[in-house]
Every structure is written in C-alpha cells, then in structure tokens.
C-alpha cells in the first residue's frame, strides 16, 4: 500500500525544507503544492491580472498548460513550455500569490492535479489544505507552525543568502497579510485538520524537526 504524508502550515514554518528532506530520506515523492499556486500567479502577473476580474481569471486558466517534470524525487515546473521553477520564487510572486490562491476556480483547477500527483506514489505533500481537503485520507498529517517574527527572519535570511537585500519588516508584514488571507478565505482555508499533529518549529533546528517527523512515520 502506498503511504501519504500531508504537511500543512503557514508561510515560513519550514514546510518546504522539512518536506523535501523527509521525502529524500524516505525515498518518497515530494509534492510542493504552493509551487503550483506560485506558477499560476507568475503567469497571471505576465498578463496584467486583476484578482477581482473572474472572467479574466477563467480565460487565463483556459490558456495555461501547467506541467510538472519529475526530477529524482521532486519536480521542475513548466508553464506553456517555459520553465518557471526559479521565477516563481521572486518577491513579486510572494506579494500576489495569496490573492490568486483564494480564487475558487484556481483552487478547483489545481486540487485535482495535486491529488493525482500525490496519490501516484509514496509521497510527502506540502501546502495549506492537504490534510483537510486534498488528501483527507493521508496516513500521517502534520501541522507545522512558528512565530511570525521567526518565519520572517528565516525568509529574510534565505533571500540574503541568495544575494537579495530585503527589508525584514516588509517581509514580516507580507507574512502576516498572507496568514490572514490564507486563514480567512472561504474556499479551503489554512487550518489544522482534526487528526493532524501540531509541531511548533520556532525553537527547533531543521534536523530536529525532520527527526521528530521521521519518528512518527510507521513503515510497513
Ligand atoms: O508554501 P508557499 O509559500 O509556496 O505557498 C504560496 C501560497 O500558495 C500561499 O500564500 C498560500 C497558497 N497555497 C494554498 O492556498 N494552498 C496550498 N495547498 C498551497 C499553497
């Protein structure tokens, strides 16, 4: 039987790093659902997108061909044949992605793709609504949290390592705003599934989080 692990939580709680390492250690497929929302956001931004223009969003969704190419245990992302794996991490996408992710048509478009991908293999799937909506039957559900100030610092540091000088307080504001939009939208908001285990990563190193999660995985 295939095994499926769902990891949800707010931006910057460590989901991506932890999910990627966990998937590597277990030799499972890593599914980053946020990357798919980011890819659509990137595409919409190229087309002067307006979040409240639903007719435009529907039209853009019809034009878009989102393709994931498996590379070892994760994916490269292509939109209409163009690779966007790196471009979707730009601050411009950070600023708009929550607005795109609250559009029901967008969520519906991506949900099926995410579920299909996650069920295709043993997998670690990471997002906001995996344990509640995308994979409610997951074998293990984790809800990762951390203080907003710590999450903002981690993001600031990550960008600095990449040579990008950014304003810590602007990042903190963006994180708070995304938390608010993601948690309060009507369609599949960010929330802990009833059967998910809460892990606070505020004072934990990545290795400690990974080991905590590994100890929860029951292998056949
Ligand atoms: O994990 P991330 O920061 O790459 O996610 C980007 C945005 O996508 C985030 O603000 C909320 C949204 N998202 C979502 O609504 N549902 C998911 N399953 C994954 C991400």
Assess whether the C-beta atom of 128 lies below 6 angstroms from ligand 1. yes
> Does residue 28's CB lie within 6 angstroms of at least one atom of ligand 1?
no
Nearest CA residue ID for atom 2, ligand 1? 34
pLDDT digits (tens, 9 = 90+) for 50-75: 878 888 988 999 999 999 888 887 78
Distance from the CA of 220 to the center of ligand 1, in angstroms?
31
Residue-level length of the chain? 220
Element (H, E) at 174: helix 168-184
Written out in words, the top-level CATH class of the domain with range 4-217 is alpha beta
Q: What is the pTM of this model?
A: 0.92
pLDDT digits (tens, 9 = 90+) for 72-105: 877 899 999 999 999 999 888 988 999 999 999 9
Whole-number Å distance between alpha carbons of 145 and 135: 20
| Domain residue limits, the chain | 4-217
* Token reading at 42: 């990137």
């Amino acid at each position: 039987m295939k095994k499926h692990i769902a990891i949800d939580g707010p931006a910057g709680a460590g989901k991506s790093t932890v999910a990627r390492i966990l998937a590597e250690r277990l030799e499972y497929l890593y599914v980053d659902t946020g990357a798919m929302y980011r890819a659509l956001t990137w595409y919409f931004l190229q087309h002067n997108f307006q979040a409240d223009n639903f007719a435009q969003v529907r039209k853009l969704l019809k034009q878009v061909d989102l393709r994931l190419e498996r590379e070892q245990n994760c994916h490269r992302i292509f939109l209409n044949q163009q690779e966007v794996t790196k471009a979707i991490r730009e601050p411009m996408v950070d600023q708009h992605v929550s607005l795109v992710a609250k559009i029901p048509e967008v969520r519906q478009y991506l949900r099926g793709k995410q579920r299909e991908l996650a069920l295709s293999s043993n997998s670690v799937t990471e997002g906001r609504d995996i344990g509640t909506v995308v994979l409610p039957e997951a074998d293990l559900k984790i809800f990762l949290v951390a203080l907003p100030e710590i999450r903002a610092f981690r993001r600031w540091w990550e960008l600095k390592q990449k040579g990008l000088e950014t304003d810590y307080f602007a990042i903190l504001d963006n994180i708070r705003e995304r938390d608010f939009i993601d948690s309060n939208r009507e369609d599949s908001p960010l929330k802990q599934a009833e059967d998910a285990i809460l892990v606070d990563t505020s004072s934990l190193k990545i290795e400690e989080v990974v080991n905590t999660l590994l100890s929860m995985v029951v292998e056949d």
